[in-house]
Amino acid sequence: METGNKVIIESRQGEALVTEGGKPDGKKLFIESYGCQMNFSDSEIVASILLDQGFSTTGDFNEADVIFVNTCAIREGAEQRVRKRLTEFKNAKKKNPDLVVGVLGCMAERLKAKFLEEEKLVDIVVGPDAYRDLPNLIGRAEEGHKAVNVILSKEETYADITPVRLDSNGVTAFISIMRGCDNMCSFCVVPFTRGRERSRDPESIVSEARDLFEKGYREVTLLGQNVDSYLWAGGGLKKEILTDEQRAQAVNFAQLLEKVALVNPLLRVRFSTSHPKDMTDDVLHTMAKYENICKYIHLPVQSGNSDVLERMNRGYSREWYMERINTIRRIMPEAGISTDIMTGFCGETEAEHRDSVSLMEWGEYDFAYMFAYSERPKTQAERQFEDDIPEELKKKRLQEIIEIQQESSMKKTKAMVGKVHRVLVERTSKKDENKWMGRNTQNMVLVFPKGELKPGDYVDVLATTCTATTLIGEIVR
Ligand code: SAH
Ligand code: SF4
Ligand code: F3S
């Protein structure tokens, strides 16, 4: 079993997400999403494209005309989960032969037509850059043809498509600011499944944020695989071929962040993911300057050892990474910091693992996503190195890292007890319907009595006690 963030990622894995609207007598779409926030955000683009075609969404796949599974290929375990689910849908198809089943996203891109030929599990296979083709592909599938489009694009950002918000609390929303990744970390499948990096027009991002604010949303999270690499120099201008002058005039991530922060002081801004090799002090100063940019950074380290980082092709050393963390803490002492780390990468020695252990102890993260290395086909690591750490040892090392993190999380949470936190009310607490849940600027979850409040309100909450990952509080008048 994979060990990841149980609260934020795992709990949403595979949930069907629905939205209001669409024609009640139209066809019904059931869409289930796996993987990262970008995939969830893509599902909202897909839903938008199909709602335009007269579809409505449903949370019950038994009443669906079309079932889409938006898939993740990041680790073997993620793919296994999807395979299992697709077999269930295949059985549903036996009962309803007109049902169309489509696989979308990263696993579709990785396996391409194999899904149709070898496994015969689905009717449609669509990669992340081909969603505009969905109405056409559904038409083909309904005529009994197999439909595939896995063409990756260098330009597609879906900038002109207004996503419909699925399963929305009406308060927080994701905005994709770029697609793809040019980094080629040796372990990672993303560059193969999502193609080349491209940034989205900042005006379309700002207007999406403004539109959300006007609809009552109070928090946006800007999404990209490496947000620090965001650069917009005008339509069609590729980052690699810019003149010095064009580069100087281009909008970088720090500038984009400022533009979004200026939409309204009541609109909170978050972003994910930062890359240690590219995160600039400019971004940190911009964060410090605006109250409404949340003081929270997710800065994946992957390993605490410089040789391993080199084999991973991450582009930084242990020392460089530590300097970045020190700089965050210097510029924003109150910032919440989280990370991603993996154990058992190719050739990882005991000494190299100890460096990850010491880095995790040193980092005192508020939160971490922790994984055992899973070899992915086609990646540089698969071609160049041997996946030579036994599963048992990967798991043992992972467990060690998890225990350190549990202690850090507990310590960080406890340190917040007794303090007053500005919280954005998001939704009813899952555990207690008389309470709201919301988060403070550091992304820590608080649960507190409903009082006269409603989602979208800001409130000061005194944290009186805590569990490992949640603060329990009282409203401060
Ligand atoms: N773009 C982000 C990461 C996206 S993938 C970044 O560069 O930080 C999310 C996380 O999954 C990664 O940070 C990494 O910790 C983990 N991951 C990626 N590939 C993996 C693999 N092959 N095995 C195990 N974990 C992996
Ligand atoms: Fe994968 Fe590296 Fe790109 Fe992150 S930065 S998506 S880990 S290649
Ligand atoms: Fe998974 Fe693709 Fe995201 S592989 S983590 S869904 S970019």
- pLDDT above 50 (res 189): yes
Residue nearest (by alpha carbon) to ligand 3 atom 7 = 190
Ligand 2: atom nearest CA of 189 is 1
Tell me the pTM.
0.94
Tell me if 194 CB under 6 Å of ligand 3.
yes
Q: Which one-letter amino acid corresponds to residue 202?
A: P
Assess contact for 187 and 233: CB atoms under 8 A. Answer: no
Pocket around ligand 1 at a 6 A CB cut-off:
74-75, 187-188, 225-226, 273, 275, 300, 302, 340, 342, 371, 373-374, 376
Tokens of 124: 């449609």
pLDDT in tens, 423-464: 999 999 999 999 999 999 999 999 999 999 999 999 999 999
Rg (CA), the chain: 22
Distance CA 477, CA 423 (A): 13
Distances (CA, A) of 298 to 97, 362, 426, 427: 45, 16, 21, 23
The pLDDT score that the predictor gives to residue 2 is: 33
Report the pLDDT averaged over residues 169-179: 96
How far is the centre of ligand 3, averaged over its atoms, from the C-alpha of 7 (Å)? 18
Q: Which residue has the least CA distance to atom 4 on ligand 1?
A: 225
What average pLDDT is seen over the chain? 93
474 alpha carbon – ligand 2 mean position (Å): 41
Q: Encode pLDDT of 347-369 as tens digits.
A: 999 999 999 999 999 999 999 99
Q: Does the structure show a pLDDT above 60 at 141? A: yes
Q: What is the pLDDT of residue 12?
A: 52
Q: What is the pLDDT of residue 281?
A: 98
- The whole-angstrom separation of Cα 450 and Cα 443 is 20
Is residue 58 within 8 A of residue 167, CB to CB? The reply is: no
Does ligand 2 have an atom closer than 6 angstroms to the CB of 141? no
Q: What pLDDT sits at residue 13? A: 66
- Cβ 135 vs Cβ 53: under 8 Å: yes
Exposure string for 349-387, b = 16+ CB within 10 A, e = fewer: eeebbebbbebbeebbbbbbbbbbbbbbeebbbbeebeb
| Region label for 374, one of left (φ > 0), alpha (ψ between -120 and 50) or beta (otherwise) | beta
Q: Which long-range contacts (CB under 8 A, 24 or more apart) does 190-193 make?
A: 190/74, 190/106, 190/225, 192/109, 192/110, 192/378, 192/379, 193/73, 193/105, 193/106, 193/107, 193/109, 193/110, 193/127, 193/128
Atom of ligand 2 nearest to the CA of 314: 2
Ligand 2 pocket test: pick from 74, 75, 109, 181 the residue with the most ligand atoms within 8 Å of its Cβ. 181
Say what the pLDDT of residue 236 is. 64
Choose among 360, 446, 371: nearest CA to 409.
Answer: 360
Average pLDDT over residues 177-189: 97
Q: Specify the DSSP element, H or E, that contains 206.
A: helix 202-214
Question: Using CA atoms, how far apart are residues 435 and 446, in angstroms rounded to an integer?
Answer: 10
Q: Is the CB of 164 under 6 A from ligand 3?
A: no
Report how far residue 131's alpha carbon sits from residue 374's, in angstroms, rounded to the nearest whole number. Answer: 28
**pLDDT tens for each residue of 197-249:** 999 999 999 999 999 999 999 999 999 999 999 999 887 677 777 888 888 88
For each of the domains in the chain, give its residue range(s) and CATH number, in order of start.
6-149 (3.40.50.2300), 172-416 (3.80.30.20), 420-475 (2.40.50.140)
Q: Which residue has the higher pLDDT, 12 or 476?
A: 476
Give the 3-state secondary structure of residue 359: helix
* 375-395 tens-digit pLDDT: 999 999 999 999 999 999 999
What separation in angstroms does the CA of 222 have from each of 17, 359, 475?
20, 28, 29
